[in-house]
Amino acid sequence: MKKNLKTLLIFCLVALTATVKANDTLKISLKQAIEIGLDKSPTIKIADKQLERIDYSNKEKMAALYPNISATGSYQRALKKQRMFFSFPGMPANPDGIEVGQDNTFVGGLSASLPIISPTLWATLKMNEVDLQMANETARASEINLINQITKAYYTILMMQDSYSVFESNYKNTEASTRIIADKFKLGSVSEFEWLRADVQLRNALTNTISAESGLEMSKLQLKTLMGLDLSTELKLEGNLSEYEKELYEDMLKVDTTQLVQNTDLKQFDLRIEQLKKAIDVHKSSYLPTLAGSVNYQYMSMGNDSVAFAKYPWFPTSTASLSLSIPIFQGGAKHYKSKQFKLQMDEMNLQKVNLKKNLELQANIYVDNMKKSIDKIQSNKKGLLQAEKAVTISRKMYEEGVATFLDLSNSELNLLQAGLSYNQSVFDFISAKADIEKLLGKTINQ
């Protein structure tokens, strides 16, 4: 009874552990991986912070339209008072003069200023909208880049999983062949050298399998980092590479390399050109006059040390003024600045043409890679089926003593290479597809 209870307890613990591990495993599709990444990735959070900062920066610039109000206060002590001298006819001479003024002067008040006509300020404020558009486009670029990175990391894991399966299958095939050779060696029908060679090949196959498993774990860590997940989270990805083979031609038909208007690099370049145009408007506005108004209201008190502070008389003073500034000549600085802006605009237009050509070249390269990958997939798939058949035949022939160990070994190696080549060709297609989607500026909602 005790033995049965102990066995039952162990079984319950094992089942509980398996349940906990199963619950800790996050099973995700590609779309879910992208959604999690966009929600948790620090890259997107940084872009959101930048958007918020630009918004506050624009509000800071808008504050220049409102009155600038400040309180002022000052105290002045007369260390040496001024003297007044009289030299009018009929008045007694006073060679020593008469001291005037008070020992202490107190001033407190408010001052306000407001731009009434300020073309430069108005032109500067018009740049706010372009700055916000640039910030939004930069955030979109971060999103597109993250989607591309997560997508390719997801595809890499699928390739590593399938490659691991290929290596594992190769190990099992090699193990089965080695077992046959070991049995023949025991019977004395093969030499020790042949058995040793088979054993070494088996160990090499095991090493390749372990390396593939290690590469798979590293790929999962990279994906978890991009998604902003804890590295201890267990991931299980949906699907495999062969599923993407069904959509090869449909994906090719969806590609339209003429639609580069949504490319984020091109849009950011257009916005930089727009920013330069606004900067030129700001420069042109500096030729125009400006008008500003100001109001000053103060309370002042003056008194000598011999008079009690409480008896100092306080009296108000106030002024209102308008200030008009008309730029006339600055040594030709503005003229040469205009020349610089014109050359800079010409440079940017030429750079835009060059950028568009490079983007079109990249798009054509990606499309060409997708087309070639389709041809490779069809060829490698057929080669994989033939390699599987060749292994079955060569093993049977070796068992019957018709084929040599070298024939069997070569067939297993060909099967391994065919499986890896097939996986690589599918990965090349979907990787090129992810890159061209990034080039076309596609987001998760498109």
Judge if 205 and 345 occupy the same domain: yes
Give the pLDDT score at 354. Answer: 95
CATH number of 170's domain:
1.20.1600.10
Judge if 102 and 250 occupy the same domain: no
Distances, alpha carbon 370 to alpha carbons 318, 411, 423, 428, in Å: 79, 30, 14, 7
How far apart are alpha carbons 384 and 390 in whole angstroms? 10
Instruction: Evaluate whether residue 322 is within a structural domain.
Output: yes
Judge if 277 and 193 occupy the same domain: yes
Give the pLDDT score at 152. Answer: 94
3 state DSSP class of 28: strand
Instruction: Evaluate whether residue 219 is within a structural domain.
Output: yes
The residue from 271, 304, 326 where one domain ends is 326
Judge if 85 and 219 occupy the same domain: no
Distances, alpha carbon 184 to alpha carbons 175, 269, 398, 399, 403, in Å: 14, 72, 11, 9, 14
Judge if 106 and 128 occupy the same domain: no
Give me the amino acid identity at 99.
E
Instruction: Evaluate whether residue 63 is within a structural domain.
Output: no
Judge if 83 and 158 occupy the same domain: no
Instruction: Evaluate whether residue 205 is within a structural domain.
Output: yes
Instruction: Evaluate whether residue 21 is within a structural domain.
Output: no
Number of compact structural domains in the chain: 2
Give the pLDDT score at 446. Answer: 55
DSSP letters spanning 69-122: EEEEEEEEE-SS-EEE----TTS---TT-EEES-SEEEEEEEEEEEEEE-HHHH
How far apart are alpha carbons 142 and 264 in whole angstroms? 10
Judge if 217 and 262 occupy the same domain: yes
Judge if 179 and 106 occupy the same domain: no
**Residues paired with 293 in a beta bridge:** 114, 322
Distances, alpha carbon 220 to alpha carbons 105, 163, 215, 237, 327, in Å: 76, 14, 9, 10, 65
Judge if 375 and 269 occupy the same domain: yes
Instruction: Evaluate whether residue 55 is within a structural domain.
Output: no
Written in H, E and C, the secondary structure of 140-203 is HHHHHHHHHHHHHHHHHHHHHHHHHHHHHHHHHHHHHHHHHHHHHHHHCCCCHHHHHHHHHHHH
**Under 8 Å between Cβ of 289 and 302:** no
What does DSSP assign to residue 445?
A: T
Q: Which domain holds residue 314?
A: 68-116+292-326
Instruction: Evaluate whether residue 51 is within a structural domain.
Output: no
Average pLDDT for consecutive 10-residue bins of the chain (446 residues)? 42 41 72 90 87 88 90 91 75 73 91 92 88 90 93 94 92 88 85 87 92 93 91 88 80 72 91 93 91 94 85 90 90 89 93 92 90 91 93 87 84 92 93 91 72
Judge if 89 and 159 occupy the same domain: no
Judge if 260 and 409 occupy the same domain: yes
Judge if 110 and 132 occupy the same domain: no
